[in-house]
Amino acid sequence: MRSALVVVDMQKDFCYPDGKLFGGEHLSSIFEPTARAVSETRKKMPVIFTQDWHRKDDPEFEIWPEHCVANTEGAEIIDELEVREEDYIVRKRRYSAFFGTDLDLTLRELGIEKLYLTGVLTNICVLHTAGDAVLRGYKVAVIKDCTAALNDYDYEYALKHMENVFSAEIITLSDFLQGL
């Protein structure tokens, strides 16, 4: 089964203390494991980075403060993750990486059947991307030590929801690396 690693919204506005929608110091705990997943995956499967990518007048700013505005430093992928030319980048304006993007087309062209999800936030963009992936017929696994939420409750809820409702596998980085 051909697979891809999807790194959801690991962007400066979410992950760094000076970011416009900083999720908390605990997010830095997933930088190293996610970087390891990315670096050890590249020879085995495609790596896809999603970027929250908003216009200045995006309606989402009625729900959340302004963040990840197109072409700003805050919208950039964090420095700890090396984006390479062979990687794929999917820019999105909503929670799901499938909504209004060419992610599904890209995955189908690559013959991908299974997605390994990492990134932030577990209970928002990772959750919605997982749900849309399953509804499109993809198998989903979430690498739990490579994802984070604003708090423990939201993190645990999202993992249980993805497991129970979307039949997603919830695995560790160690599980993932052993399966490569």
pTM of the model as a whole: 0.98
The per-residue pLDDT string of the chain (180 residues; one tens digit each, 9 = 90 and over) reads: 999 999 999 999 999 999 999 999 999 999 999 999 999 999 899 999 999 999 999 999 999 999 999 999 999 999 999 999 999 999 999 999 999 999 999 999 999 999 999 999 999 999 999 999 999 999 999 999 999 999 999 999 999 999 999 999 999 999 999 999
Q: Where are the domains of the chain?
A: 3-179
Work out the angle between the directed axes of helices 152-166 and 127-135 (0-180°, nearest 10).
10
Tally helices (H) and strands (E) across the chain. Answer: 6, 6
β-sheet with 88-92: strand ranges across: 88-92, 47-52, 3-8, 114-120, 139-148, 169-171
* Domain 3-179 of CATH type 3.30.470.30: no
